[in-house]
Structure 1
C-alpha cells in the first residue's frame, strides 16, 4: 500500500505526527512524505499521486480535484487529519467512489469540551473573579463584584447542531439544561436520545439565557446572526461561538457587547490571528481564546485517522467516513 502525506515538513506536521504516530503510519505501507516546507500546489499533487493508494492530508493541503484524479488511477482513500473536508475534496472524489475519512468526530469531542469550558467560565464569572483576586480584592458576586450564574437547569439555545452540538448535548444533560435546537437539516427524531432537547425555530433558540453557535460556515449561514437576530437574544444572556466567526456579523456583535446588554465567549474571529489592537480585546464582558477549541490536541486526531487507514488496509468498515451528504453541509 502506497501512502502519500501532503503535510509539509516542519512543526505543524511534527505536532500531528510525533515519532510514535510516524512509526505507526510507516508500518501500514510505503510512505512518501512531503519533503518541502510548503504545501503542495494542485499541480505538484497531481505529479505525485500516480500509484498512490492512500492520500493523507492536513490544513493547507491542495484540493483533490477532477484534474488531480485524472492522474490518480490507484487512489482509494483520502484520510484528513483535520475536521471539515468540504474545501479539500471535490465532488469528483465521491463520483469516483473514493472513500473519505477525517478526524471530524474526534475534533468535535474536543470542541464541545472547549465550548463547555467557555460557557461555564463566563457563567461562573471566572475571568472577572480572577481579575478581582489578582487586584487584591475579595469579590464574592453578592452585589460586590461579578454576577455568578449557573448552567444547572438553564435554558440553552443551539444555533446549528452538527457533531459538536450533539457532543455538547451530552454534557448539557448532566446539568439538567433545557435545550432549544435550531437546525434546518435536522429532524426531531435526530434528538430522540436527548429528551431535554427539542427542535425549534431560530427565534426560539435565540430566546435563551445561553446561545451557542454550531452551524457550519456556508453561503446560507454567513451573516445569519445580524443585528436584528442578535437583538432577539435576551438581556444578560451569554453568546458562545466556537464554530465560525462569519456566522455572526462582527459590527452587530461589537455593538451589542459595547452596550453591555449581553456577554460573549469566543474562540473564532473574522480575522485570525486577532489583531493586537482589536476592540474585542478591551471588552470585559468577553472571554477570548485563540481558536484552539478542537485543533490543539493533535495526536488523538492523527490516531483516529490512522485507525481508519488500518481498517482500509484490512478491508474492514471505516469508522470516521465522511459521506457525500455530510460533506455537502460542512464548513467551507
Structure 2
C-alpha cells in the first residue's frame, strides 16, 4: 500500500505525527511525505497522487477536486488528520466512491471537554477568584458562584460535539434544551433530561451553547433580536464558529453587562491585541484551542482507520456524504 502525506514539512506536521505515530503509519505501507514547507497547489497535488492508494491531508491542504483525481490512478482512501472535510473532499471524491475519513469525532471529544471545562470555570468564577487570590485578596463575597446542577442549558444545534457535551452534562442533572431541526428526534431517547425546542425557546435559557457548523445558512443566525431573547444574566458559549453570532450585537450586550460569554472562536483570528473583547471582564476568552491543540490523537485516529482499511475492516471515522454536505466550510 502506498501512502502519501500531503501536509507540509513544518512543525505542525511534526506535532501531528510524532515518532510513535509515524512508526505505526510506516508499518502499514510505503509512506512518502510532502518534503516542502508549503501546501501543494492543485497541479502539484495532481502529480503527487499518481500511484497513491491512501492520501493523508491536513489543515490548509488543497481540496481533492476532479482535476486532482484525474491524476489519481489508484486512490482508494482519503484520510484527513483534522475535523471538517468540507473543503478537503469534493463532490467528485464522493461520486468516485472514494471513502473519506477524518478525526472529526476525536476533535468533537476535545471540544466538548473544553466546553464543559470552560462552563465550570465560568460558573464557579475560577478565573476571577484566581486573579483575586494572586493580587493578595481573600474575597469570596464579591464573586457570584453558580453551579451546573439543575441549570437550564440550551444547545443550538446538536451534531457530534453537542452529543459529546450532553454526555458530559449527565452527572449534573441539568435541564437541557436542544434546537436542531435537522436531526432525528430519537437521538435524545437516552437523555430524559433533554428535549427538542424551537430556537426562541432554546435562547430563553440561563446558558446557551452554540454548536452549529458554519455554513451559508448559519452565518449570522444569532442576531440582535435573538440575543435579546437570552435572559438577563445569561451566558452565551461559542466553541463552534464566531460567524454564527453577529459580532456587534454581541459586543453591545457584553458592554452593557446584561450577558456574559465564553468564547473560543473569534471573527478575526488571531484576536487583535486591541480588540474590545480583551477588555471586558464578563468574557472568558481562549484562542481557538477547544478541539485542535491535542494533535497526536487526531493523526492516530486516521492511522487507526488506515489500518482497518488495509485489513478490510469497517472504518470507524468515515464521513458519509450527507455529513460532508453540512460540515463547516
**What is the aligned-residue RMSD (CA, Å)?**
0.7
Matched, 1:85 2:82: no
Q: Distance in 2 between matches of 1:74 and 1:205?
A: 48
Question: 1:225: how far off?
Answer: 0.6
Structure 1, residues 299-318: CA drift from partner, whole Å, max 9, x if none? 11111110000000011100
Q: Secondary structure at the match of 1:264?
A: strand
What is residue 120 of structure 2 aligned with on the other side? 120
Q: Distance in 2 between matches of 1:276 and 1:29?
A: 46
Q: Distance in 2 between matches of 1:208 and 1:35?
A: 51
Point out where structure 2 has 5 or more consecutive residues left out of the alignment: none
What is residue 142 of structure 2 aligned with on the other side? 145
CA contact (8 A) 1:4 1:32 kept: yes
Point out where structure 1 has 5 or more consecutive residues left out of the alignment: none
Of the three residues 173, 177, 196, the one matched with 2:170 is: 173
What is residue 11 of structure 2 aligned with on the other side? 11
What is residue 286 of structure 1 aligned with on the other side? 283
Structure 1, residues 82-110: CA drift from partner, whole Å, max 9, x if none? 00001111011000000000000111001
1:304-319 equivalence runs, <5 A: 304-319=301-316
Of the three residues 213, 216, 219, the one matched with 1:219 is: 216
Q: How many residues are matched?
A: 329
1:222-261 equivalence runs, <5 A: 222-261=219-258
Q: Secondary structure at the match of 1:231?
A: helix
Structure 1, residues 162-208: CA drift from partner, whole Å, max 9, x if none? 10000000011110011100011112111111111111111111111
Matched, 1:49 2:61: no
What is residue 39 of structure 1 aligned with on the other side? 39
Q: Secondary structure at the match of 1:174?
A: helix
Q: Secondary structure at the match of 1:316?
A: coil
Q: Distance in 2 between matches of 1:193 and 1:43?
A: 49
Q: Distance in 1 between matches of 2:130 and 2:236?
A: 21
Q: Distance in 2 between matches of 1:205 and 1:103?
A: 29
CA contact (8 A) 1:187 1:199 kept: no
CA contact (8 A) 1:112 1:164 kept: yes
Matched, 1:329 2:316: no
Structure 1, residues 209-261: CA drift from partner, whole Å, max 9, x if none? 11000000000000001111011011101111000000001111100000000
CA contact (8 A) 1:159 1:205 kept: yes
- Normalised TM-score (structure 1): 0.98
Q: Distance in 2 between matches of 1:35 and 1:171?
A: 41
Q: Which moved more, 1:131-140 or 1:281-290?
A: 131-140
What is residue 71 of structure 1 aligned with on the other side? 71
Q: Distance in 2 between matches of 1:179 and 1:309?
A: 37
Structure 1 segments of 4+ aligned residues over 2 angstroms from their partners: none
1:158-197 equivalence runs, <5 A: 158-197=155-194
- Normalised TM-score (structure 2): 0.99
Q: Distance in 1 between matches of 2:183 and 2:258?
A: 31
